[in-house]
Amino acid sequence: MVDVSRVCVVAATVRELAPSAGWQTFACGVGPVEAALASTAFLARERPAAILQIGIAGARRAAALAPAAVVIGSAARYTDLAVDNAMAPRVVVPSPLLVAAARQVLPDAVAWPIATAGKVGGSTECEVEAMEGFAVLRAAELAGVPALEVRVISNEIEERDRTRWHFEHAFAAVHAITPRLVDAIAQCVN
């Protein structure tokens, strides 16, 4: 049995957090500012061996990702910041070991960069967009904690009618994959 107690699963909302089977969880809040502040405070109090940042996301229509498709973040890109990269980082690359572990347990998932934007449709440079990944991964990077972002598609970014988004389907998929991801990550860091 793998010790999962030192893995922390972070999501924007409680609805995105699967019931814990021994791993740590916390809801960091919605958006990059809340996620950065909450993650930094959490990492100052706790010292997990690894972080899994998980949740729902939108995908561009052209990406042809169906609702509940899984995306493993190959990079987290902060798209709201329009300054030279020398002034402030805009990309965090997740732990290659954690990416490999996720790909092994989720072989049908795609591994693509995921944009972090403060508003829906706020990015143009990635096929997948969420609101917290860069913030959580950057806080983990500064704390020296390996981290990974995994997202489940709930909607097309271009679809403004939220009644057409597939929240329940996406939340169910997030809950289904979390235990496998936590076990795989725990094997890497224990």
Cβ atoms of residues 25 and 8 within 8 Å: yes
CATH level 3 topology of 7-189: Rossmann fold (3.40.50)
Cβ atoms of residues 80 and 36 within 8 Å: no
Across the range 167-173, mean pLDDT stands at: 96
Read off the pLDDT of residues 57-73 as tens digits, 9 standing for 90 and up.
Answer: 999 999 999 999 999 99
Q: What is the dihedral of CA 19, 95, 38, 109, to 10 degrees?
A: -50
Domain boundaries, the chain: 7-189
The 3-class secondary structure across 47-101, one letter per residue, is CCCEEEEEEEEEECHHHCCCCCCEEEEEEEEECCCCCCCCCCCCEECCCHHHHHH
Read off the pLDDT of residues 16-28 as tens digits, 9 standing for 90 and up.
Answer: 999 999 999 999 9
What gap in Å lies between CA 5 and CA 104, rounded to an integer? 21
Where do we find the tokens 């030279």? 84
User: 83 pLDDT band (50/70/90 cuts)?
Assistant: confident
Q: Does the pLDDT value for residue 82 go beyond 80?
A: no
